Amino acid sequence: MSLSFDLPSSRTTCTSKIFRPGDGITSPRLVHHGASRVGVWVIPLADRNSTDLALAVGPAAYVLMNRETAYFGETKNINMRFSKHFADPAKAFARVAYVVVGYPEPWSNKDPAFYLQYHLWSIAQAARHVVITNEWTPTIPRVRADERAEMERILEDARQQLFDAGCLALDSYFDRVPVVSSTERDDDPIGPNDMEPMLIDIVATPPAGGELELNYVGLWARGYPTSDRGFVVMPGAEFRWPINGSAQGIVDTRRSELEAKHALATIPGAADRKRLLVAVWFPSAAIAAKVITGAHIGSRVWVPRRYPQPIIIAN
Residue 22 CB coordination number (10 Å): 9
Sequence-distant (≥ 6) Cβ neighbours of residue 34 within 8 angstroms: 15, 17
Could you give the angle at which helices 249-260 and 285-293 cross, rounded to 10 degrees? 80
Give me the amino acid identity at 286: A
C-alpha–C-alpha distance, residues 210 and 215, integer Å? 16
C-alpha–C-alpha distance, residues 295 and 263, integer Å? 20
Beta partners for residue 223, in sequence order: 212, 233
Give me the amino acid identity at 78: I
Beta partners for residue 61, in sequence order: 74, 100
pLDDT at residue 11, as a whole number: 55
C-alpha–C-alpha distance, residues 231 and 254, integer Å? 15
Helix, coil or strand: residue 119: helix
Could you read off the pLDDT tens digit of each residue along the chain, which spans 315 residues?
Answer: 333 344 445 455 788 999 998 888 888 999 999 889 999 999 999 876 667 777 888 999 999 999 888 999 999 999 899 988 888 877 888 999 999 999 999 999 999 999 999 999 988 887 888 888 887 778 778 888 899 999 999 999 999 999 999 999 999 888 765 444 444 555 567 888 889 999 999 999 888 878 999 988 778 999 999 988 899 999 999 999 888 877 888 999 999 999 999 999 998 877 788 999 999 999 999 999 999 998 888 888 898 876 655 545 555
Sequence-distant (≥ 6) Cβ neighbours of residue 253 within 8 angstroms: none
pLDDT at residue 286, as a whole number: 92
pLDDT at residue 125, as a whole number: 80
Q: What is the pTM of this model?
A: 0.58
290 touches 214 (CB < 8 A): no
C-alpha–C-alpha distance, residues 72 and 80, integer Å? 16
